């Protein structure tokens, strides 16, 4: 023992507590230097520009349009997609970036997921060369924002076989009729990808409605959501909307082609859910180090440590799962069932984790200013969108039993 350790001054110094760190297994070390620099840039942006203001926007049900110029400068538009002005990079980098964004705000990650994953992804995966060249560059620069209209008021989980929105070919155009519900970014975006059933062959096809002024196309914002309040969701009505054949996704000829997009976005939601859990865990851990009860930080109590350790276990398990998911994806081996399992597992563990975070904050856990409440409610939406927990498990169930439980 040193003399310094025995001196009264040293004895009085409280040991600094470790800063909250949700990367317990050093997952970020798997990134190369270039990728890590991008993720750090995103983290700095989220912490310095988004974190201080996002709760206000969330409470007010508003999208932070004033942040869009800084988002454009991040250079992440079209991550994981190559050519056509997209940022490129690995699918792992895309995942880490979305996780990082969700760690501060799941709504902002969802905005990215809808614009880049669902809207740009539909064009990237199902569009012709000409269509990709026409739309993706401006979308990658965030000059044109996209949405993806699949879900309908009466058809959610059953979208694969039951879409009621119709497309009828008349000469060189298509006439769309129907309604779409829950469509993220729809109230204010530019490019709307609409999925409809072709009356001629009963197959689902994708159509690009280029702008809001298209006759017969109208959007109403969905009010009074209690989760992902920053994301603006719309209810779209299509009344005899004419779309040229040139705007029909040339590689989207059945729901199988829609599902190729959904595989990518479920991959992404697993990362976002993990980020959401990380944000909630870090908020709860910090709170537990600062909040005193019975004259001690609540983090010193065994039962609170139990909650924190279980939260970290959920997060670490999800991180390892999604990192392997990224490897499978990069090798071209990611199946629908792989992505479904990751989405189901990560969102379920996220839901459990954010509830424990809320619990650690006691009464303050239901006040938006303390962050945990925002993660707590946002997790509910991640759990249900892009195909619910049950639907993901049915996809996995079909793959492992060889028997379809879909009716
Ligand atoms: C915040 C948010 C954003 C969204 N963004 C978009 C978007 O941008 N674009 C878009 O197209 N859609 C979007 N959605 C819609 C989303 O994908 C659907 O909500 C989801 O697919 C579930 O559909 P539903 O809400 O109609 O629920 P339903 O399909 O009515 O399901 C209700 C319940 O029944 C269960 N269920 C249904 N069928 C079965 C079955 N066969 N076996 C067992 N259980 C079953 C479900 O799991 C669920 O628990 C969004 C939703 C939310 C909440």
Q: How far is CA 15 from CA 11, 12, 281, in A?
A: 9, 9, 22
Confidence of residue 7 (pLDDT cuts 50, 70, 90): low
User: What is the distance in A from the centroid of ligand 1 to the CA of 189?
Assistant: 22
179 lines ligand 1 (CB under 6 A): no
Main-chain phi, psi angles of 52, to 5 degrees: -65, -25
Q: Rounded distance, CA 106 to CA 100, Å? A: 10
The model carries a pTM of 0.96
Confidence of residue 21 (pLDDT cuts 50, 70, 90): very high
Q: Over pLDDT 70: what percentage of the chain?
A: 97
CA of 228, closest atom in ligand 1:
1
User: What is the distance in A from the centroid of ligand 1 to the CA of 390?
Assistant: 10
Query: In this structure, are residues 365 and 333 in contact, taking their beta carbons and an 8 Å threshold?
Result: no
Residue 4 pLDDT: 44
Q: Rounded distance, CA 344 to CA 274, Å? A: 11
pLDDT at 230 over 70: yes
Residue 1 pLDDT: 39
User: What is the distance in A from the centroid of ligand 1 to the CA of 363?
Assistant: 31
Which of 109, 113, 157, 221 gets mutated to test ligand 1 (max ligand atoms within 8 A of its CB)? 157
Encode pLDDT of 286-307 as tens digits: 999 999 999 999 999 999 999 9
395 vs 407, higher pLDDT: 395
pLDDT at 273 over 80: yes
Encode pLDDT of 138-181 as tens digits: 999 999 999 999 999 999 999 998 899 999 999 999 999 999 99
pLDDT at 404 over 50: yes
Q: Rounded distance, CA 358 to CA 365, Å? A: 4
Q: What is the 3-state secondary structure of 62-102?
A: CCCHHHHHHHHHCCCCCECCCCCCCCECCHHHHHHHHHHHH
Q: Whose CA is nearest to atom 27 of ligand 1?
A: 156
The closest of 99, 64, 95 to 80, measured between CA atoms, is 95
Strands 296-297 and 292-293: antiparallel
pLDDT average, residue stretch 235-253: 97
CA quadruple 124, 31, 342, 57: dihedral sign: negative
Q: Whose CA is nearest to atom 21 of ligand 1?
A: 387
Q: Whose CA is nearest to atom 26 of ligand 1?
A: 156
Q: Rounded distance, CA 180 to CA 323, Å? A: 34
Beta-ladder partners of 233: 184
Encode pLDDT of 212-229 as tens digits: 889 999 999 999 999 999
pLDDT average, residue stretch 40-64: 98
Query: In this structure, are residues 149 and 80 in contact, taking their beta carbons and an 8 Å threshold?
Result: no
pLDDT average, residue stretch 314-335: 98
User: What is the distance in A from the centroid of ligand 1 to the CA of 337?
Assistant: 18
Residue 11 pLDDT: 58
pLDDT at 355 over 80: yes
Encode pLDDT of 81-117 as tens digits: 999 999 999 999 999 999 999 999 999 999 999 999 9
The distance from CA 398 to its chain's CA centroid, rounded to whole angstroms, is: 25
Identify the weakest region by mean pLDDT among 13-22, 122-131, 394-403.
Answer: 13-22
Query: In this structure, are residues 85 and 78 in contact, taking their beta carbons and an 8 Å threshold?
Result: yes
383 lines ligand 1 (CB under 6 A): no
Residue 9 pLDDT: 52
Beta-ladder partners of 167: 176, 198
């Amino acid at each position: 023992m040193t003399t310094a350790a025995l001196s009264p001054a040293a004895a009085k110094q409280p040991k600094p507590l470790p800063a909250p760190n949700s990367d317990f297994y050093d997952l970020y070390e798997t990134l190369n230097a270039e990728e890590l620099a991008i993720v750090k840039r995103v983290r700095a942006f989220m912490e310095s520009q988004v974190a201080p203001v996002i709760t206000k926007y969330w409470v007010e049900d508003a999208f932070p349009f004033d942040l869009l110029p800084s988002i454009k400068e991040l250079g992440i538009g079209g991550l994981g997609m190559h050519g056509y002005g997209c940022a490129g990079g690995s699918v792992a980098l895309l995942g880490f970036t979305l996780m990082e964004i969700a760690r501060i705000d799941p709504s902002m990650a969802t905005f990215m997921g809808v614009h880049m994953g669902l809207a740009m992804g539909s064009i990237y995966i199902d569009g012709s060369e000409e269509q990709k060249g026409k739309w993706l560059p401006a979308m990658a620069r965030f000059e044109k924002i996209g949405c993806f209209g699949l879900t309908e008021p009466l058809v959610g989980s059953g979208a694969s076989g039951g879409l009621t929105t119709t497309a009828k070919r008349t000469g060189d155009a298509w006439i769309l009729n129907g309604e779409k519900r829950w469509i993220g970014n729809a109230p204010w975006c530019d490019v709307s990808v609409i999925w409809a059933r072709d009356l001629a062959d009963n197959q689902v096809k994708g159509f690009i409605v280029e702008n809001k002024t298209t006759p017969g196309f109208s959007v109403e914002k969905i009010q009074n959501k209690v989760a992902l309040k920053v994301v603006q969701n719309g209810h779209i009505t299509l009344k005899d909307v004419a779309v040229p054949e040139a705007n029909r996704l040339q590689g989207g000829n059945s729901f199988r082609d829609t599902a190729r997009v959904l595989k990518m976005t479920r991959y992404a939601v697993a990362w976002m859910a993990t980020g959401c859990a990380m944000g909630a865990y870090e908020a709860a851990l910090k709170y537990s180090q600062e909040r005193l009860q019975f004259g001690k930080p609540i983090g010193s109590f065994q039962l609170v440590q139990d909650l924190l350790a279980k939260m970290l276990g959920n997060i670490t398990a999800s991180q390892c799962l999604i990192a392997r998911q990224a490897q499978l994806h990069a090798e071209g081996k990611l199946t629908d069932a792989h992505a479904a399992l990751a989405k189901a597992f990560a969102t379920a563990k996220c839901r459990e984790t954010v509830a424990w975070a809320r619990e650690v904050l006691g009464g303050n856990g239901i006040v938006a200013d303390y962050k945990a409440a925002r993660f707590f409610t946002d997790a509910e939406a991640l759990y249900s969108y892009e195909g619910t927990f049950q639907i993901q498990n049915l996809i996995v169930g079909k793959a492992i039993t060889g028997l379809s439980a879909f009716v």
